[in-house]
Amino acid sequence: MKLNWLFFVGITLFAGLSSCHRQRQKSQQRVPTDSMAVVKVDTIVQPKKDTAIAVKPVVEHEDIKVSIENVDFRYLSAKSKISFKSKDQEIDDASVTMRMRKDSLLWLQVSKGPIEVVRGIITRDSIKIVDRYNKKVYLYDFAGLSQQFNFQLSFDLIQSILVGNMPIPKKPGQRFKKEKDYFMLRQDEGKISLENYIGEQNRRLKKLLVTEQPTKNSLTLDYEDFTQLNNYLFPYTSLIELDYESKKDQQRYQTVFRIKHQKVELSEKPLSFPFSIPAKYERN
């Protein structure tokens, strides 16, 4: 089991998970969405000339008031399926169970059929993944992974990706621009620039583009299938693309996740996070 698979299951998995078949209550209203398509990805890709949404020319307004709807919770649990493709790995419809305690802890279990293959736990400063298939343990931190993938990663970014919230709150002086059916807010944080596309109708984050300078490495998220969950509209389908240049061979690669929720719950009731590292497992 290679690093790309382990890393992206452990990190990007929290972007919103999947649903071939969902249990719905009468209070749930589902926004129509296209059926899931097979994602085809070239293993080596050229830098994107234009990764923004294809829309009409930007019209900037002096004072656009946009009230953004964010998801809040104490504990989150989800049962999902993911499809994944990178230059080294291809996974189709793996089953995932995920639990989360806001701002502090993410736990996941990945299975293929009846067999558990990965169990991981992510805190604000560490990532621990147990590969049960190969009897190996992988230990990381965000600083090391950010350097390896040439892209800034953090716990807060994962949490925002999971629930579809803006990773960085709007600051004084930042202004929205009206683009077709979206309100777009551009933010610059050090070497990172973010473009947040907020739906005009539901005021939820619909698309996020994160680009790092000067590498042009980028993370793109598209949220779909918004469904009423408690008092929030929650994205039950996510498409996540990471385009990056490898430090090893200076080639550009792309990794793609298709994530769909089967079931998601937000609650105040504490969850358990069972995790242990077998003594005989090889450490990497």
Residue 226 in this model has a pLDDT that exceeds 50: yes
Segment 118-131 mean pLDDT: 92
How does strand 136-140 pair with strand 282-283? parallel
Specify the residue for token string 């558990």: 116
In this prediction, residue 151 carries a pLDDT of 63
Domain 3-19+45-272 carries which CATH code?
2.50.20.10
Of residues 2 and 276, which shows the higher confidence score? Answer: 276
Could you give the percent of the chain with pLDDT greater than 70?
Answer: 77
How does strand 182-189 pair with strand 282-283? unpaired
Segment 181-194 mean pLDDT: 90
In this prediction, residue 209 carries a pLDDT of 93
Residue 37 in this model has a pLDDT that exceeds 80: no
Residue 187 in this model has a pLDDT that exceeds 90: yes
Query: Which range has the worst mean pLDDT, 50-54, 89-93, 203-207, 221-225?
Result: 50-54
pLDDT digits (tens, 9 = 90+) for 90-120: 888 889 999 999 999 999 998 888 889 899 9
Structure tokens at 170: 């709007």
Of residues 133 and 62, which shows the higher confidence score? Answer: 133
Instruction: Quickly state the pLDDT bin for 149 (edges 50, 70, 90).
Output: low
Segment 81-92 mean pLDDT: 84
3-state secondary structure of 40: coil
Segment 75-92 mean pLDDT: 88
CA distance 56 to 100: 39
* Domain-wise residue ranges, the chain: 3-19+45-272
Neighbour-count burial of 208, counting CB atoms closer than 10 A to its CB (0-12 exposed, 13-18 middle, 19+ buried):
buried
- Closest by alpha carbon to 121, among 281, 38, 13, 229? 13
CA distance 279 to 188: 44
Instruction: Quickly state the pLDDT bin for 230 (edges 50, 70, 90).
Output: very high
Of residues 47 and 101, which shows the higher confidence score? Answer: 101
Segment 76-94 mean pLDDT: 87
In this prediction, residue 145 carries a pLDDT of 79
- Closest by alpha carbon to 237, among 279, 282, 199, 206? 206
pLDDT digits (tens, 9 = 90+) for 237-252: 999 998 988 878 888 9
Segment 5-31 mean pLDDT: 34
Could you give the percent of the chain with pLDDT greater than 90?
Answer: 41
Residue 6 in this model has a pLDDT that exceeds 60: no
Residue 54 in this model has a pLDDT that exceeds 70: no
Query: Which range has the worst mean pLDDT, 47-61, 163-177, 240-254?
Result: 47-61
Residue 172 in this model has a pLDDT that exceeds 50: yes
Instruction: Name the average pLDDT for the chain.
Output: 78
